[in-house]
Amino acid sequence: MVKQVRAGFVSIVGRPNVGKSTLLNKLLCQKISITSKKRQTTRHNIVGIKTEKNVQLIFVDTPGIHKGQDNAVNRYMNRSAMSALQDVDAVVFVVDKGVWTAEDQAVLEQIKNVHCPVVVVLNKVDQLSSQNELLPHVEKIAKQLPAADLIPISAVRGTNLNELERSLVDKLPISDQFIYPENQITDRSIRFLAAEIIREKVVRLTGSELPYQTAIEIEEYRETESLVTINALILTERKGQKRIIIGEKGERIKQIGIDARLDLEKLVGSKVMLNIWVKVRAGWSDDERALRSLGFDEQ
Is residue 33 very low, low, confident or very high in pLDDT (cuts 50, 70, 90)? confident
Does residue 211 or residue 126 have the better pLDDT?
A: 126
Closest CA to 23 of 136, 125, 172, 149: 125
List of E strands, 53-161 = 55-61, 90-96, 118-123, 149-152
What pLDDT shows up at residue 34?
A: 64
> What does the mean pLDDT of the chain come to?
84
Query: Which amino acid belongs to residue 204?
Result: R
Same-domain status, 24 and 59: yes
Whole-model pTM: value is 0.80
**Residue 261 lies in domain:** 190-293
User: At residue 140, does pLDDT exceed 60?
Assistant: yes
Here the CATH number for the domain that contains residue 250 is 3.30.300.20
Query: Of 177, 174, 183, 172, nearest to 2 (Cα)?
Result: 177
Domain boundary pick from 175, 209, 230: 175
Q: What does the pLDDT read at residue 83?
A: 64
Do 258 and 157 share a structural domain?
A: no
Is the same domain home to 49 and 99?
A: yes
Q: How many angstroms separate the CA atoms of 275 and 131, rounded?
A: 48
Q: Look at residue 185 and tell me if it is in a domain.
A: no
- Asked if the structure places residue 181 within a domain, the reply is no
Residue 266 falls inside a structural domain:
yes
Residues 229, 289 within the same domain: yes
pLDDT tens-place string over residues 211-265: 566 888 899 999 998 999 999 999 888 898 899 999 999 999 999 999 999 999 9
CA separation for the pair 276, 218 (Å, rounded): 9
Residue 68 has pLDDT above 80, yes or no: no
Residues 171 and 194 in one domain: no
Same domain, 159 and 267: no
- Which of 175, 201, 229 represents a domain boundary (last residue)? 175
CB atoms near residue 198 (< 10 Å) = 28
Regarding whether 56 and 91 lie in a shared domain, the answer is: yes
Strands 227-236 and 271-280: parallel
Q: Are residues 84 and 207 in the same domain?
A: no
For residue 98, the cross-strand partners are none
Of 151, 175, 199, the last residue of a domain is: 175
Q: Residues 59, 150: one domain?
A: yes
DSSP 226-294: SEEEEEEEEEESSHHHHHHHH-GGGHHHHHHHHHHHHHHHHHHTSEEEEEEEEEE-TTGGG-HHHHHHT
* Amino acid, single-letter form, for residue 241: Q
298 located within any domain: no
Q: Do 13 and 106 reside in the same domain of the chain?
A: yes
- The total number of structural domains in the chain stands at 2
Residue-wise pLDDT for 154-196, tens only, equals: 999 999 999 999 999 999 999 999 999 999 999 888 998 999 8
CATH assignment of the domain containing 170:
3.40.50.300
Domain co-membership, 259 together with 214: yes
Residue 127 and residue 13 in one domain: yes
